[in-house]
Structure 1
Amino acid sequence: MSVSELKRRRTFAVISHPDAGKTTLTEKLLLFSGAIQIAGTVKGRKSSRFATSDWMDIEKQRGISVASSVMQFEYGDAVMNLLDTPGHEDFSEDTYRVLTAVDAAIMVIDGANGVEAQTLKLLEVCRSRKTPIITFINKLDREVRQPLDLLDEIEQHLGVAAVPFTWPIGMGKEFQGVYDIRHDQVRVFRAGQETLDGAVETLQGLGDADGERRFGPAWLRTREEVELITGASPAFDKEAFLRGDQSPVLFGSAINNFGVKEILDTMVELAPPPSARMTVQRPVDPAEPKFTGVVFKVQANMDLAHRDRVAFIRVCSGRFERGMALKVSRTGKTFRANNVVAFLSQRRETISEAYPGDIIGIPNHGTLSLGDTLTEGEDLQFIGLPFFAPEIFQTIEVVDPMRAKQLGEALRQFGDEGAIQVFRPVLGGSLVLGAVGQLQFEVVKHRLAAEYKVEVRISPARYRMSRWVTCDDPAELRRFSDSYAARMALDAADAPTYLATHGSEIEVAQKLWPKIVFNELRERSGQPFKKTR
């Protein structure tokens, strides 16, 4: 494969707490690259303009992102694969799986609120995988907290060394622009000015007499703060950044396009190209000539007119060519990849080739499932794509028994997507849905009605916890399952699951059955989750 194409790739996610401006920034990144000509804005149910990355009806109605989106575009000589993650904390599981497919991340922080709960959770995921992070402190055109306090909070709560690349001059109505510390240059902010050609007024350094005359106290305060932080902050170390130990910090206002170009430039300059990824059998280097890829997301009904089901695949090595024969390691079956697409959110374009780091989509009717590995013949299984033990459980029943078949098919697809976890009690009875957050049930109910014309009743279940049970001795696992048959269920991967009403029940079962392992995470294959880089 072409090493030059490999080096051009930058595959990254945008993460944040809800309402920090993640979707707005995503839109502006596309706008600056020329991928779109106008940014959609979520203005309410009567508006006809929505965020480019939001495509579900429920997202458009509520003005939130509840599904991850994929967007590929070119910026300069780089090919950017941008993954927009769900902003709502109830969809953290989908966000985690998206983060397994990227090589870097942009963390958006609301300058008024600082580091928030969801930011902490997402950072922990990134740190566990040593994902390099660029931090963007947003909404400087509003009244925000002191930048020194924000920097200190990032370091204390997120456990990374924050290295400012830019520094704000004023805030809110007094926001004048930012000082580029590395290039000793001031970029002047103009409220409401949206320039995509980089035509921003610049001044040479904080010693510029015209800047001091125009901006007065804010200019002088910035000069003092910059002197302080340059003496106290560590020098930027690219290797520390690539290890996830340092995070460059930039300030701006995404809604005003201010600071967006700098984020793109920093991503191209510093973010790593695709690196080696682990399988059960061996590490896979992206420069290997043979194609490999992993399904990290499945989405049904992106196009309702065609009832399609698209598997999102991260290319891990080699060169993809349209029409090539690909083997699904899980099933051992081979198929021809003739209809393969790249994405700009809901817009698709048929492609003939792709390289490591690229995200491609293969429409299919159940051939591909979440976590599947695709190869040119070798038996490999990429690891590190987890399912989490749910925290909320509800039972589901169809209102019209004549629609039971449609409900079963819909839940099978939702289970394959990872949109919600579906458990089938081994002794029969109502299906049990498991989720991390309450909003997941609302989305499922909405999608059942909108996409499958199925009305359902969803009620609280008596369960409060679950664990996937495994054992090196299959006979012992069968004896355990028989003894607790009333509490056993199978999930979408047919992995045996113990359902509990209280944590003490799991503790008692563990003492009585010491050979049984109770897992809070599992791989797509049903096996216990193995942590990777």
Structure 2
Amino acid sequence: MLFRIVSRFSSSTGKLLQWNCSRNYAKFVNTGQQHYDLEKIRNVGISAHIDSGKTTVTERILFYTGRIDEMHEVKGKDNVGATMDSMELERQRGITIQSAATYTVWKDTNINIIDTPGHVDFTVEVERALRVLDGAILVLCSVGGVQSQTMTVNRQMKRYSVPCLAFINKLDRMSANPARVLGQLRSKLFHNAAFLHLPIGLESEFSGIVDVIEKKALYFEGDFGETIREDEIPQDMRQQTEDCYNELVEHVSNVDEQLGEIFLQEKTPTKEELKAAIRRATLKREFTPVLLGSALKNKGVQPLLDAVLQYMPNPSEVKNYAFSHDATKDDSASKTKILMSPERSSKTSFCGLAFKLEAGRFGQLTYVRVYQGMLKKGENIFNTRTGKKTKIPRLVRMHANQMEDVNEVYAGDICALFGVDCASGDSFVTEKDLEISMESIFVPDPVISMSIKPKDSKDIDKFSKAVARFTKEDPTYHINYDVDNKETIASGMGELHLEIYAQRMEREYGCPVVMGRPKVSFRESIVSPCEFDFLHKKQSGGSGQFGRVIGYLEPLPPEENTKVIFCDETVGTNVPKGFIPHIEKGFRAFCEKGYLTGNKISGVKFRLVDGQAHMVDSNEISFILAAQGAMKQTYEFGAWQVLEPIMAVEITAPTEFQGSVMGQVQKRKGIITGTDATEGWFTVNAEVSLNAMFGFSSELRSMTQGKGEFSMEYSRYSPAEMDVQQQLVDLHQQSLHPNQQAKKKKN
């Protein structure tokens, strides 16, 4: 096996590449049984805004480390596509849809890599990848800079305290301006960032980089940039390099005490001291090193790999906590935290987190990050949520859609299991008595819905199988049946999200589907506090029903208008405490469908102040119905409004189309929050209701000759326009009383 692989690499072009690839791959082949020290492991993710070059960067990393022997482009002419875009839809569209995991070796260090999508519709893929990774590479386009999805990814990194490196890509593009991108990193993302590299030329003249710390120029030569030639810094860049070095020392010394002391003593730190300070500050998320390059032109990727080894944490430098099993069920602040031991040995108990599910050729494939202990093939594991026991028949490590069998995995590893029935976010242990769970993954709520049904009613079985698989794999993709409208509703993060799954149903299950007009997730909320006093009383011989509730329904502040809060303020025994949960149950059940438009109720606080019970007739159902009656009462006497989701929209297009684009935003009643223009391109940031954004994609393409692009993400809920509210009320009344509406039309 080893001889065949080395022989294959010996035909690669470039002598240095031959040696590197053979050496790394020969080392790499043994990783199935070889267990690296913790210091020799890195778990990193590659994240960015769409079309910043994440997958191309990953392709170059795999090539230079000898993991693959040929490079292919994301939108290549050879119909092969990038390694990590293994799905046929990804290759056709030239975008990443699913996060893909792989592992490779660079300078005797094992690097686990997850390539994530850049489109906001697939943001949960980024979310669950960052949840289990120790570090991240934030890829930025040298022209686009910090864009909307960059900000989302940055928030996700902050949520899970993931340290990151910034890699400014595409320096060969027209209008490339890394200095502007660095300024945006500081002003928009509030990163304490500084250059570790400087570009030698820009756009078509980009030929290499200057290493600011080592103070030398690096040129990437050979057919694939595999030969790195070191040279002196060009004469005209020496002063710029010195200024950049001083700026780097200043930024790091502001957040690192040891370097700060050297700086205050006006001493010059050694290279080792500066690199150690950068590492310390990066691990604390107090500094972001900025590297430069062009992955497509094969420049700057090897120094990026060196920086991953130098500045990214190994698993022992990251503190991961589990919670006691009982504590995870309790919403109180007093959760019992248990620090996971990162030691790679069989002495500690195994604990792992299932962060992604995928339907493989041999059943469900469960991606697991090992946080503690060791797991062997053939061992029994227990799901801490369900208590279910499962034997592991097969243990693999992933390389995109390819699997490589291993016999055991240790703390810090990312692996995949077969034959495990679980949900995304479940924790596993090998000791049944070890009742702990890792913190689960944050899952955003869907913001768009469309009706969906099979084209042919005979395909209902295929449709059911597809729905069961996709909803299990993707927690942001929901399918539910609307009883009132008698239609199946698909909910997701955007039009592209739902469209992709519709296409996958046809391709993978032979079940073409028909999608209806998108339905926005509107909400109903009360405008001002409203008092209620409702008595539910029913007597039909024998024991009846009796329940009375008194209190107030109040609106929540705008920043909490997606919540529904129940508050028990009763004093005494007028309402027995045993009935309080049933009053809450009735209130929350009513909130699932409001009276105004049939949408969910949110942004309300139900304050139960008093009530009344009967010794014989009061029971659970009495108080459930009393709470629902009280809510109906607030619709009669209170003022209600409809809330709609507002999206943060970012539009980028050539300056010549600025007027027509701004006009289109204003036509959709959007609020422009900021504009930016650089070298022939402009960027507009606006807040627009999701209901007004349908069809904007095709209009933008037509008005900008196909050059404009936009992205949007959920921002908040806000009161809808009066005409929209009235339209929704009329539609709801029409659906409730179709016969009356038909009579009106006849008259």
1:385 aligns with 2:444: no
1:506 aligns with 2:610: no
Task: Summarize deviations over 1:409-448 as a string: whole Å, max 9, x none.
Answer: 3212211111643243585743322211211101110111
Alignment counterpart, residue 116 of structure 1, candidates 140, 147, 151: 147
Alignment counterpart, residue 590 of structure 2, candidates 479, 483, 487: 483
Alignment counterpart, residue 471 of structure 2, candidates 415, 422, 434: 415
Question: TM-score, with normalisation over the residues of structure 1?
Answer: 0.83
* Larger relative contact order (Cα-Cα within 8 Å, sequence gap ≥ 6): 1
How big is the shift at 1:89? Answer: 1.9
Q: Could you say what secondary structure the match of 1:263 adopts?
A: helix
Mapped partners of 2:133, 2:585: distance in 1: 39
Q: Show the counterpart of 1:528.
A: none
1:254 aligns with 2:295: yes
Q: Show the counterpart of 1:396.
A: 452
How big is the shift at 1:189? Answer: 4.5
Judge conservation of contact 1:168–1:222 (CA < 8 Å) in 2: no
- Which amino acid is the alignment partner of residue 463 of structure 2? L
Q: Show the counterpart of 1:524.
A: none
Judge conservation of contact 1:390–1:465 (CA < 8 Å) in 2: no
How big is the shift at 1:240? Answer: 2.3
- Which amino acid is the alignment partner of residue 355 of structure 2? F
Q: State how 1:421-500 maps to structure 2 within 5 Å.
A: 421-424=477-480, 427=483, 429-460=486-517, 462-465=519-522, 474-484=581-591, 486=593
1:273 aligns with 2:323: no
Judge conservation of contact 1:187–1:200 (CA < 8 Å) in 2: yes
Mapped partners of 2:72, 2:386: distance in 1: 41
Mapped partners of 1:56, 1:353: distance in 2: 28
How big is the shift at 1:328? Answer: 1.0
Residues 1:470 and 1:356: Cα distance change in structure 2 (over 3 Å): farther
1:333 aligns with 2:388: yes
When you count helix as a share of all residues, which structure comes out higher?
Answer: 2
Judge conservation of contact 2:217–2:231 (CA < 8 Å) in 1: yes
- Which amino acid is the alignment partner of residue 506 of structure 1? S
Mapped partners of 1:134, 1:483: distance in 2: 48
Alignment counterpart, residue 421 of structure 2, candidates 361, 367, 375: 367
1:202 aligns with 2:201: no
Question: TM-score, with normalisation over the residues of structure 2?
Answer: 0.60
Alignment counterpart, residue 200 of structure 2, candidates 161, 169, 174: 169
Judge conservation of contact 1:465–1:500 (CA < 8 Å) in 2: no
Q: Which has the larger radius of gyration?
A: 2
Mapped partners of 1:511, 1:77: distance in 2: 60
Residues 1:469 and 1:316: Cα distance change in structure 2 (over 3 Å): farther
Q: Which runs of 5+ in 2 are unaligned?
A: 1-33, 254-276, 325-336, 524-561, 568-579, 610-626, 629-644, 646-747
Residues 1:474 and 1:69: Cα distance change in structure 2 (over 3 Å): farther
Q: Show the counterpart of 1:358.
A: 413
How big is the shift at 1:164? Answer: 1.6
**Aligned-residue CA RMSD (Å):** 2.9
- Which amino acid is the alignment partner of residue 297 of structure 2? N
Mapped partners of 1:134, 1:259: distance in 2: 14
Task: Summarize deviations over 1:25-58 as a string: whole Å, max 9, x none.
Answer: 00011111111111122336x7431110011121
1:129 aligns with 2:160: yes
How big is the shift at 1:462? Answer: 4.2
Q: Which runs of 5+ in 1 are unaligned?
A: 489-498, 521-533
Judge conservation of contact 1:500–1:506 (CA < 8 Å) in 2: no
Mapped partners of 2:280, 2:375: distance in 1: 30
How big is the shift at 1:161? Answer: 0.8
Q: Show the counterpart of 1:531.
A: none
Task: Summarize deviations over 1:186-244 as a string: whole Å, max 9, x none.
Answer: 11255x74243xx322124x3xxxx43xxxx5x36744753673576444543321122
How big is the shift at 1:368? Answer: 2.0
- Which amino acid is the alignment partner of residue 472 of structure 2? D
Alignment coverage as a number of residue pairs: 484
Q: Show the counterpart of 2:357.
A: 298
Q: Show the counterpart of 1:491.
A: none
How big is the shift at 1:265? Answer: 1.0
Q: Show the counterpart of 2:57.
A: 25
Residues 1:43 and 1:482: Cα distance change in structure 2 (over 3 Å): closer
How big is the shift at 1:136? Answer: 0.7
1:347 aligns with 2:392: no
How big is the shift at 1:485? Answer: 5.6
Judge conservation of contact 1:14–1:107 (CA < 8 Å) in 2: yes
- Which amino acid is the alignment partner of residue 313 of structure 1? V
How big is the shift at 1:333? Answer: 1.2
Mapped partners of 1:432, 1:459: distance in 2: 9
How big is the shift at 1:16? Answer: 1.0
Judge conservation of contact 1:389–1:465 (CA < 8 Å) in 2: no
Mapped partners of 2:461, 2:581: distance in 1: 33
- Which amino acid is the alignment partner of residue 295 of structure 2? A
1:311 aligns with 2:418: no
Task: Summarize deviations over 1:449-492 as a string: whole Å, max 9, x none.
Answer: 1112222222235441576878796424421244346469xxxx
Mapped partners of 1:181, 1:72: distance in 2: 29
Mapped partners of 2:252, 2:121: distance in 1: 36
Mapped partners of 2:162, 2:584: distance in 1: 37
Q: Show the counterpart of 1:495.
A: none
Q: Could you say what secondary structure the match of 1:395 adopts?
A: strand
Mapped partners of 1:450, 1:131: distance in 2: 37
How big is the shift at 1:345? Answer: 0.4
Judge conservation of contact 2:565–2:606 (CA < 8 Å) in 1: no
Mapped partners of 2:382, 2:565: distance in 1: 28
Q: State how 1:209-288 maps to structure 2 within 5 Å.
A: 211-212=234-235, 217=236, 219=237, 222-223=240-241, 226=244, 229-230=247-248, 233-235=251-253, 236-274=277-315, 275-281=318-324, 282-283=337-338, 284-287=340-343
Q: Show the counterpart of 1:82.
A: 113
